[in-house]
Amino acid sequence: MTQPAPALNDQGLPVGYRLQPEWEATPRQLKAMRDRGDAFVLIDCRLPKEHALARIEGSLLLPLQELDVRWREIEALREQPLVIHCHHGGRSLKMAMLLRQRGFRDVKSLAGGIDLWSLDIDPSVPRY
């Protein structure tokens, strides 16, 4: 059962959301990056079953739980800007922190995750 849609502020974030600009990109910022054709990699750190339910097209599925076993794959992306998303933003923030601890410099978590992406940017992405 999905939660009711929250009221959004002028940044497209739930009213009262405390954005951490050094760590997070808003869905509107992500959309602008895509619209401009910025070079970056969008990583979906959710589980495959979640990815099957709803996804942002063009994202690379790399579950947080597989980070260590897929390290070579992520290491190859070290010099590229990364935006990581999950369902609501918690796991992606954790993954961004882990990557920064391992020397990645340009990593952000998608604020509000795919749920907020669906609410503010692309309602064709199912909420769950």
Given 25, 86, 96, 116, which residue is catalytic?
A: 86
**Buried b / exposed e along 83-99 (16+ C-beta atoms within 10 A):** bbbbbbbebbbbbbebb
CB 126 within 8 A of CB 52: no
Note whether 96 and 107 are within 8 A (CB). yes
Say whether 86 is catalytic.
Answer: yes
- DSSP-based three-state secondary structure for 48: helix
Catalytic annotation, residues: 86
